[in-house]
Amino acid sequence: MWSLMIGFVLDVIIGDPHNPYHPVRIIGSWAMNLESVFRKIDSNNLKLAGALAWLCIIVPTFLITLIIVKIAFFIHPMVGILVEGILIYFCLSAKGLKVEGLKVIKTLESGDIEKARHQLSYIVGRDTASLDETSIVRAVIETVAENMSDGIIAPILFAGLGGAPLAMAYKAVNTCDSMFGYKNEKYLEFGFVSAKMDDLFNYIPARLTGYLIIIASFILGLDYKQSYQIYQRDRYNHTSPNSAHPEAAVAGALGIKLGGANYYFSKLVEKPTIGDETKAIEMKDLYQTNMILTTVSFLGLIVALLIGGVVR
């Protein structure tokens, strides 16, 4: 539990350390290598190949992290607490989410919409080249809202439940989905297991995040009643069974409409809308979303500590 708090504080203070030795980057490189290997081994059954690749990513990630933690605790309990805290820190991205979103908004506020579109392309999957100011702000809010679950609440819950090994295993699950979980010709079969397992691992965290956002809205003096109403109504307005949960709660709290049609790889994709357009989206909505993110992060820490206390 001390490790969990150390990891949380490090994330709040430092944020995402951009370096090639970040454990998630290493997992991503390992996943990329395994993809080519298993595609060659079983090219006739890509679902099975993808499932085997998934296992060969998740299981070693858990075991290697467990071994590192055990060795650190064997050296000295304080060393173990510190090492596990650092590993948990690598799994969280509260400050990183906030910073990356603010980069786009600050650039937009300076009047450089082309640069803002370019910066946005690093954090969203949609085409950004022709987005107007409102669409850019909406995209940032959607990204921050959606990632409150898989970037903060899910890893912190798994850390509370099983320490750094389980938190890192979750990040491996999330990484596999981000690399293979596409519904296109290349990954529809190979990424099938990765996508489904990510849905499974995020099932409870996404729903908990939705309710934490409603509580955060109450704490911050936002429209928590509308947040609850929109959450109940629109939480399944997404192709993913989990993504719309935090987005719906945020949209209701701010009184804005999210979702809708977007271009992906020059192809128009129609998606359901989330929330009611009681007012136009403004830049200040992103700042309020970040306030929600911060509050939800602390609420998530409390829940994770309670879970850790019960488990131990």
Q: Quick one: angle between helices 2-13 and 283-311, nearest 10?
A: 160
Average pLDDT over residues 152-170: 96
- C-alpha dihedral (189, 155, 20, 118), degrees to nearest 10: 70
Instruction: Provide the pLDDT for residue 125.
Output: 78
Residue type at 92 in one-letter notation: L
Per-residue confidence (pLDDT) for residue 42, from 0 to 100:
74
User: Residue 129: which pLDDT band, with cuts at 50, 70 and 90?
Assistant: confident
22 falls in which pLDDT band (50, 70, 90)? confident
- Region 189-193: mean pLDDT is 92
The predicted-structure confidence for 215-259, as pLDDT tens digits, reads as follows 999 999 999 999 999 999 999 998 889 989 999 999 999 999 998
Is residue 6 over pLDDT 80?
yes
> How large is the average pLDDT for residues 187-211?
94
124 to each of 43, 57, 127, 236, 267, how far by Cα in Å?
A: 31, 25, 8, 20, 15
Q: pLDDT for 272-311, tens place per residue?
A: 899 998 998 999 999 999 999 999 999 999 999 999 888 7
> What value does the mean pLDDT take over residues 181-203?
90
Average pLDDT over residues 54-78: 96
Kindly report the CA angle at 142 between 276 and 244, in degrees rounded to 5?
70
Q: What percent of the chain has pLDDT over 70?
A: 99
Domain of 294 in residue numbering reads as: 1-311
pTM of the model: 0.92
Asked if the model's pLDDT at residue 89 lies above 90, the reply is yes
Band (141; pLDDT cuts 50, 70, 90): very high
Count of domains forming the chain: 1
Sign of the dihedral through C-alpha 223, 156, 96, 179? negative
Contact criterion met (CB below 8 Å) for 196 and 47: no
Residue 294: both structure tokens together:
């911060």
With bands split at pLDDT 50, 70 and 90, how would you rate the model's confidence at 182? confident
Are 139 and 284 in contact by the 8 Å Cβ rule? The answer is no
